[in-house]
Structure 1
Amino acid sequence: MTSFFAVPPLQEINSAIAHQNNVELYVLRLDLMHPFVNGNKWFKLKYNLEAAKAQNFNKLLTFGGAYSNHIYATAAVGNLFGLQTIGVIRGEKSLPLNPTLDFAVSQGMQLVYLDRQTYRQQQTAKLQEVLKNRFGDFFIIPEGGCNLHGVRGCTEIISNSAPLIKGDFDVICLACGTGTTLAGVTLSLHQKQHLIGFPVLKGGEFLKSAIETLLAEYLSSDLPMPGDKSISWELICDYHFGGYAKVTEELVTFQKEFGKLYQIPLDYIYTAKMFYGVMDLIQQKYFSNCRILLIHTGGLQGNLGIENRLID
């Protein structure tokens, strides 16, 4: 499976503000792993695919919003590995399809739309039975790849980049949606390292309990434990810019200027918010005398939809 994917490069950010505070900044460019299945998405899908194969499923069904990176990546993975894919989309169908859903269809994904109330029942046996009656047998991947298979894959994000990363970063930062990636990365780190998640949802404090549940379930399983169980982590919830998929002129300006300065494209929904937060905190002297690794979780495909919306 991994033959499709490049080892992500490590890129230094030569920032004057960082240097003034004796901070070394590096970016793990997961966005460069593959044209369509990049960032944290491959890691969250990898062991779900292995489980589907072990159970002899050739059809994947998953859930997501109309601009979902997860829907986009699952459709591409299905096409890469010859699997049928079904995307259950939150909300009503709207034509013409946006770039995310248009790509998913081009990869062979069959789309079905559910109103928001019904969509919230995605984990219930009742809705799953309705979908099974319509589509036959399938392997379910939860929204965002949020299960123990997804967590396990994310424990490999750091080790997948060896020997570029040798555990010598003091702080690791990443954007958070479901918390799956943060849980996995936490489980892969070593003593004295600290992980910070930047939720992109308004009121992201609720993710703390979701992450704690994922960690407890993983630690009680027999899945591999590559790191130290006592790693410290925290959430910084002040950089959501209004909530999920919300953007402001300040964020747009930052995204564009950062891209020009460092030749690192950021997506508006996840990475731009996290990078903004880190740079702002350095300026506030929250960080000093340390080495920080920023994990670029991809998601650049969502920018086209956001930019079209800004133009409108």
Structure 2
Amino acid sequence: MLKLLMQMFGASKPRPSPKPKAKPASRSKPVADRPAQPIERERVFKVAGLEKLEGDGNYSFPVVGESNYQKSLGLLAGPKEKVGKSIACVAVVEHEPSNKWDSNACPVFIDGYRIGHLAKDDAKDLIKVGGEGCCYAVDALIKGGYKTSKYSGMFGVSLDFLPRQFPATPIQKEMFRFFGLKPPSALTRGESWDREEELKTHEKYKEWSDFRLIISYLLSEEGREDYCIKKPSMKALRDAFTQLRKEGHSSESLASSMDEVVELMIDDNPNLEKV
């Protein structure tokens, strides 16, 4: 994940010393609350004959929608255990123009099983590069999937793909704002990564890295599931982080346990919490 110097902006009304709040044992949903899903191998791909997307070994490119395919991922990864999984494999990403929900849909398959898809913006960017009906092989990592006596964590998937020519992500643009910089027009991910390298020696880089970890997790499907919240805005995340830093919390402590950030966002916007 990513960088920093800025005057942090954002409304932050004075907050009295927080009262101790009863916290659920875990915000992950009990196993019984998660709906069952059918398992179906949809496709057979000749992976060796596909063009392979290039990566850097960090498996930082996200797949979304994995919550809908937990049984398929469980079949691929094996039974859940106390410690989550980390299984390297090869995935296939294919543009599916006939998809009845979204003609830009780019589902992700592992061993023929549909296990998620690219985010809408990522799918559009991939189609711009590869054309309609494009299909690629890519190294993938199945991760997560822990299970205790009461709770169960979801499986997730990330890809080893470094899309330098794609437009910059919202988090990359937030990096520029964090450092007090104006994001250039038509900013690409590659340009953002290059600028980040320049910022790594900045005194506030560690603080940005912690903030980026927070926003990356709480914007992710897994993070929202764990904390039982709807998708927060970047401004809500920025305002909560800024206020808590002013109250004396270290960025490292906020990143290691995000409860304070979530509780403050919910205080400011109760509708953020899933009922």
| TM-score after normalising by structure 1 | 0.25
Larger relative contact order (CA 8 Å, sep ≥ 6): 2
Q: Which has the higher helix share?
A: 1
| TM-score after normalising by structure 2 | 0.27
